[in-house]
């Protein structure tokens, strides 16, 4: 498959071209940034529990390594293909550069529904995939992390397989590992925490308060959404709506998250939670709230629903939750959108901390991790907000400009080889 066919890749390159025009980016740099460095496609044979061999399609893509080793998740999902992987690797380049991390952009994945595999099949798939991409990854080359459908356990298997091949423990080859294998404290909540940090900064720059009257709606009560919701409730805000794959719940007076967690523990999903009205995921996006946090899938805010959104601020916890048509409608309505590459960069930032701790074999306290995260994210926010004001462009374009400026300066001083 040609990656040019992919919607997400085309979207990433269209946004890139738009930002490049605003800053008169060197056309040679733009041309180079439009293409990934290299793409690896692998076939991953797995012996299933019934004894039969099944072959899965896997990828690892390096988009840019000017600033340092590639960084990006491994996704296990039925939608994974070359185009999606190239598009997501491209966004990783600008996300890492925007945060001033010494890392490039990469992404990987296997086309599989992990929920249909047993634990043994999942482990065999992960080990064989790691072995197939072995020459592409490494602590100085490309450092994978969890993404949709993968977890700390899967990263532990990647780390173990890589370490077996080289003959010694290499914790720096992946991030998002369990604490026992060299994971960082604060990593699992980092993306949600970063989402909240960006909301605090947005409220400061808009002159709005974040208090007991602030009503929040969160789509996707998973890793990102639940960490953000819990932190916001701790800060005194009201989380009025939540959802998961089973649907949503709404209570205008605020949801009790301890009760929600207990309900999920017993029932696995939110559907049926008693102390709230049942709503759909679509209704959640347009419910009565001040702040909307999409933290589930991409492409949920569309031309059809954007005009009905009531929130004044949107913080994109998920990657690509807003289509370009929806983006224009939201901008016209005056909704302040903090884009994904800034809003959800807490995860990659603490991944960077984990890599640094792994290389040095010196581990930080959770407080140290959170303080450094705050410092890096609030500085990135200020850079983006300044560009947004100076160039009179959206926060999305401003964030991309921030990332492009950082990586393009390094590309020009390093020069093009040969
Ligand atoms: P997760 O799997 O932990 O949670 C996803 C949540 O979305 C779950 O509650 C799930 O039930 C819900 N969901 C799934 N399908 C849905 C649907 N069709 N409609 C509504 N809800 C649905 O995933 P996560 O790690 O929280 O990631 C969420 C988003 O954030 C993804 O877009 C991911 O790419 C992005 N992201 C995650 C991180 C991270 O560190 N985890 C970092 C950056 C970006």
DSSP state of 1: -
Helix (H) or strand (E) holding 73: strand 70-77
Within a domain: residue 388?
A: no
Left (φ > 0), alpha (ψ -120 to 50) or beta: where does 334 sit? left
Helix (H) or strand (E) holding 376: helix 366-390
In a shared domain, residues 263 and 162: no
Q: 220 in ligand 1 pocket by Cβ < 6 Å? A: yes
Within a domain: residue 387?
A: no
What is the C-alpha to C-alpha distance for residues 224 and 141, in angstroms, rounded to an integer? 27
Looking at 300, 328, 343, the residue that finishes a domain is: 343
In a shared domain, residues 90 and 139: yes
Residues in contact with 250: Cβ distance below 8 Å, sequence separation at least 6, in sequence order: 240, 241, 276, 277, 278, 279, 283, 284, 287
Q: 244 in ligand 1 pocket by Cβ < 6 Å? A: yes
Query: What's the CATH code of the domain at 72?
Result: 3.40.50.10860
3-state secondary structure of 39: strand
Q: Distance from the CA of 159 to the center of ligand 1, in angstroms? A: 23
Left (φ > 0), alpha (ψ -120 to 50) or beta: where does 322 sit? beta
Residue 364's pLDDT is what? Answer: 97
In a shared domain, residues 209 and 164: no
H-helix segments, 23-134: 27-33, 82-98, 119-132
Q: Note the pLDDT tens digit of each residue in 80-107.
A: 999 999 999 999 999 999 999 999 999 9
Q: Note the pLDDT tens digit of each residue in 108-145.
A: 999 999 999 999 999 999 999 999 999 999 999 999 99
Query: What's the CATH code of the domain at 309?
Result: 3.40.50.720
Within a domain: residue 404?
A: no
In a shared domain, residues 152 and 273: no
Looking at 327, 343, 359, the residue that finishes a domain is: 343
In a shared domain, residues 16 and 78: yes
In a shared domain, residues 83 and 145: yes
In a shared domain, residues 31 and 159: yes
* Low-confidence residues in the chain, pLDDT < 50: none
In a shared domain, residues 140 and 40: yes
In a shared domain, residues 62 and 139: yes
**Which residues make beta-bridge pairs with 76?**
110
Residue 246's pLDDT is what? Answer: 95
In a shared domain, residues 207 and 157: no
Q: Distance from the CA of 415 to the center of ligand 1, in angstroms? A: 38
Residue 367 phi/psi, 5-degree rounding, is -65, -45
Nearest to 414 by CA among 104, 130, 199, 122: 104
Overall number of domains in the chain: 2
Task: Give the C-alpha distances (Å, rounded to integers) separating 371 from 2, 192, 273, 382.
Answer: 43, 15, 36, 17
Residue 297's pLDDT is what? Answer: 87
Cis peptide before 418 (omega within 30 of 0): yes
* pTM beyond 0.85: yes
Q: How far is CA 256 from the centre of its chain?
A: 27
Residue from 223, 321, 340 whose mutation best tests the ligand 1 pocket (most atoms within 8 A of CB): 223
In a shared domain, residues 148 and 206: no
What is the C-alpha to C-alpha distance for residues 338 and 397, in angstroms, rounded to an integer? 10
What is the C-alpha to C-alpha distance for residues 348 and 70, in angstroms, rounded to an integer? 12
Within a domain: residue 397?
A: no
User: Is 210 within 8 Å of 290 (Cβ atoms)?
Assistant: no
User: Is 186 within 8 Å of 350 (Cβ atoms)?
Assistant: yes
Within a domain: residue 389?
A: no
CA-nearest residue for atom 4, ligand 1, is 222
What is the C-alpha to C-alpha distance for residues 150 and 122, in angstroms, rounded to an integer? 10
What is the C-alpha to C-alpha distance for residues 74 and 85, in angstroms, rounded to an integer? 9
Burial 374-403 (b: 16+ CB within 10 A, else e): bebbeebbebbbebbeeeebbbbbbbbbbb
Within a domain: residue 383?
A: no
Q: 224 in ligand 1 pocket by Cβ < 6 Å? A: yes
Residue from 245, 268, 298, 377 whose mutation best tests the ligand 1 pocket (most atoms within 8 A of CB): 245
**Which residues make beta-bridge pairs with 43?**
57
Within a domain: residue 81?
A: yes
Within a domain: residue 312?
A: yes
Q: Distance from the CA of 319 to the center of ligand 1, in angstroms? A: 9
What is the C-alpha to C-alpha distance for residues 383 and 385, in angstroms, rounded to an integer? 6
Q: 75 lies in which domain range?
A: 7-169
Q: Is 184 exposed, middle or buried, given 0-12, 13-18 or 19+ CB atoms closer than 10 A?
A: buried
Could you tell me how many residues make up the chain?
Answer: 418
CB half-sphere exposure, 308, CA atoms < 13 A: 12
Looking at 119, 140, 169, the residue that finishes a domain is: 169
Neighbour tally for 207: CB within 10 Å:
6
Query: Which positions are catalytic?
Result: 107
In a shared domain, residues 159 and 295: no
């Amino acid at each position: 498959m040609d990656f040019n066919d992919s919607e997400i890749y085309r979207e990433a390159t269209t946004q890139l071209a738009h930002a490049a025009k605003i800053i008169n980016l060197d056309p040679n740099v733009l041309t180079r940034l439009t293409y990934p460095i290299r793409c690896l496609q692998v076939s991953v044979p797995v012996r299933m529990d019934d004894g039969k061999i099944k072959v899965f399609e896997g990828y690892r893509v390096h988009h840019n390594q000017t600033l340092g080793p590639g960084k990006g998740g491994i996704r296990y999902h039925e939608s994974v293909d070359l185009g999606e992987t190239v598009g997501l690797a491209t966004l990783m380049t600008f996300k890492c550069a925007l945060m001033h991390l010494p890392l490039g952009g990469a992404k990987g994945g296997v086309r599989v529904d992990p929920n249909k595999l047993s634990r043994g099949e999942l482990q065999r798939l992960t080990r064989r995939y790691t072995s197939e991409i072995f020459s592409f990854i490494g602590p100085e080359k490309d450092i994978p992390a969890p993404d949709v459908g993968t977890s700390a356990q899967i990263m532990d298997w990647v780390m173990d397989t890589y370490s077996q091949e080289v003959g010694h423990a290499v914790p720096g080859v992946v991030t998002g590992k369990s604490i026992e294998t060299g994971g960082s404290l604060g990593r699992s909540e980092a993306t949600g925490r970063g989402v909240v940090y960006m909301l605090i900064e947005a409220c400061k720059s808009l002159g709005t308060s974040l208090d007991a009257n602030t009503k929040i709606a969160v789509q996707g009560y998973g890793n990102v959404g639940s960490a953000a919701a819990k932190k916001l409730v701790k800060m005194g805000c009201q989380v009025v709506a939540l959802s998961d794959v089973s649907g949503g719940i709404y209570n205008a007076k605020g949801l009790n998250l301890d009760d929600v967690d207990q309900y999920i523990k017993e029932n696995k999903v939110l559907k049926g939670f008693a102390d709230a009205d049942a709503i759909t995921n679509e209704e959640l996006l347009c419910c009565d709230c001040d702040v909307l946090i999409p933290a589930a899938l991409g492409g949920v805010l569309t031309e059809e629903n954007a005009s009905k959104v009531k929130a004044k601020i949107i913080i994109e916890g998920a990657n690509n939750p807003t289509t370009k048509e929806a983006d224009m409608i939201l901008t016209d309505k005056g909704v302040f959108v903090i884009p994904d590459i800034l809003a959800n960069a807490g995860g990659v930032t603490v991944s960077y901390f984990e890599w640094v701790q792994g290389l040095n074999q010196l581990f930080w306290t959770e407080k140290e991790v959170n303080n450094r995260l705050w410092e890096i994210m609030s500085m990135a926010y200020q850079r983006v907000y300044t560009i947004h004001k100076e160039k009179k462009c959206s926060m999305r374009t401003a964030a991309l400009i921030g990332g492009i400026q950082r990586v393009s300066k390094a590309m020009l001083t390093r020069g093009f080889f040969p």
